[in-house]
């Protein structure tokens, strides 16, 4: 069977055709060299999709076990009740044997499979650090072209797992009462990344109140050392108590998401562009290390080049592949 036409597929993706969305996600996960040109053409065709420009990309991150998947389900249902379409990317650990997603997050989500305005996809980390998958940025671009809201759920946060800031407009950090996570987040610097803080599983009032108080203290500490915020000006990070299983606090969370999206409007394009530049450079550095960066004339030169080429229509994934080919060619010339 001949390969499908990326431009036609892009049009069907923008029409939220679930079969086309699935094919597009399969394509952007394909690391084979023969898929490279088709991925580039597809993503270029989706770049200026109306939903992509006006939609909202929400990142859900937090330690394993805090209920991110259940929370994603509750937020998606509430968004659908507000007549918004929703795409979800659940990043799962990889199977040791097959390398595929273990589907842990997806099976914990409760969705109506017949709902045409809702799409859920699992991505395998395939050994990537940072809490996201190799194709996460591209997958978000696909879903953002088709749906009003895209939620990206990470595998869980740690000191290095903050890549969500490069693909999400709004980052939601989720913790649970009584977990002791706040002190660990301060040590790891995780308090630098959230735009909204959520205390989930807030069924026990006293523990929930204590967790909220701890988070307020952590935010004050982060502000005092100049380590909080993502250059959002006067945005004050809200702290919201939720119970995803009881649907409490969900409407308040969506209101906070809407407020942050509105707050971002003047700087959203620049924020997304900065995230894509960093995503492309991180992909290349993980693949080739500091030697690769030095070989291609250093980080400043690579950053300037990424900014220029992304403005010209390149995508982070295709730019990384182009840089990789140049690096390999340079090594061959000097060997």
Model confidence pLDDT, tens digit, residues 9-64 = 899 999 999 999 999 999 988 878 778 888 888 988 998 888 888 899 999 988 88
CB-based contact 183:206 (threshold 8 Å): no
Query: What is the reported pTM?
Result: 0.87
Inform me whether the pLDDT recorded for 203 exceeds 90. Answer: no
**Alpha carbon distance 105, 92 (integer Å):** 6
Question: Residue 123 has what pLDDT?
Answer: 83
- Phi and psi at 173, nearest 5°, equal -95, 125
Could you tell me how many helices (H) and strands (E) the chain has, helices first? 13, 7
Can you tell me the mean pLDDT for 80-103?
69
Which stretches of the chain are DSSP H helices? 6-14, 18-28, 36-46, 50-54, 68-81, 104-108, 136-146, 181-188, 205-224, 250-264, 268-295, 298-311, 316-334
**Alpha carbon distance 219, 228 (integer Å):** 7
Model confidence pLDDT, tens digit, residues 132-178: 556 888 899 999 999 999 999 987 655 445 778 889 999 999 988 87
């Amino acid at each position: 069977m001949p390969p499908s036409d990326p431009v036609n597929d892009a049009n069907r993706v923008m029409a939220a055709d679930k079969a086309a969305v699935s094919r597009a996600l399969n394509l952007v996960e394909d690391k084979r060299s023969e898929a490279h040109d088709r991925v580039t053409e597809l993503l270029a065709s989706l770049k200026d999709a109306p939903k992509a420009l006006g939609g909202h990309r929400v990142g859900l991150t937090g330690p394993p076990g805090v209920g991110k998947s259940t929370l994603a389900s509750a937020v998606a249902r509430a968004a659908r009740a507000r007549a918004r379409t929703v795409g979800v990317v659940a990043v799962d650990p990889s199977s040791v044997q097959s390398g595929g997603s273990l589907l842990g997050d997806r099976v914990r989500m409760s969705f109506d499979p017949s709902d045409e305005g809702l799409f859920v996809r699992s991505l395998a980390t395939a050994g990537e650090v940072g809490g996201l998958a190799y194709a996460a940025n591209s997958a978000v671009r696909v879903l953002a072209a088709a749906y009003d809201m895209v939620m990206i759920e990470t595998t869980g946060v740690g000191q290095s797992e903050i890549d969500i800031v490069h693909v999400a407009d709004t980052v939601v950090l989720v913790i649970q009462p009584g977990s002791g996570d706040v002190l660990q987040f301060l040590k790891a610097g995780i308090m630098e990344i959230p735009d909204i803080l959520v205390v989930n599983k807030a069924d026990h009032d006293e523990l929930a109140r204590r967790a909220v108080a701890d988070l307020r203290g952590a935010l004050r500490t982060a502000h005092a050392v100049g380590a909080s915020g993502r250059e959002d000006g006067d945005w004050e990070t809200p702290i919201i108590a939720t119970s995803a299983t009881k649907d409490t606090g969900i409407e308040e969370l969506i209101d906070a998401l809407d407020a942050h999206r509105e707050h971002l409007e003047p700087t959203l394009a620049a924020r997304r562009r900065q995230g894509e530049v960093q995503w492309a450079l991180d992909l290349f550095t993980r693949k080739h290390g500091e030697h690769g960066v030095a070989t291609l004339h250093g980080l400043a030169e690579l950053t300037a080049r990424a900014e220029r080429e992304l403005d010209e229509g390149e995508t982070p994934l295709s730019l990384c592949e182009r840089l990789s080919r140049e690096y390999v060619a340079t090594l061959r010339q000097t060997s």
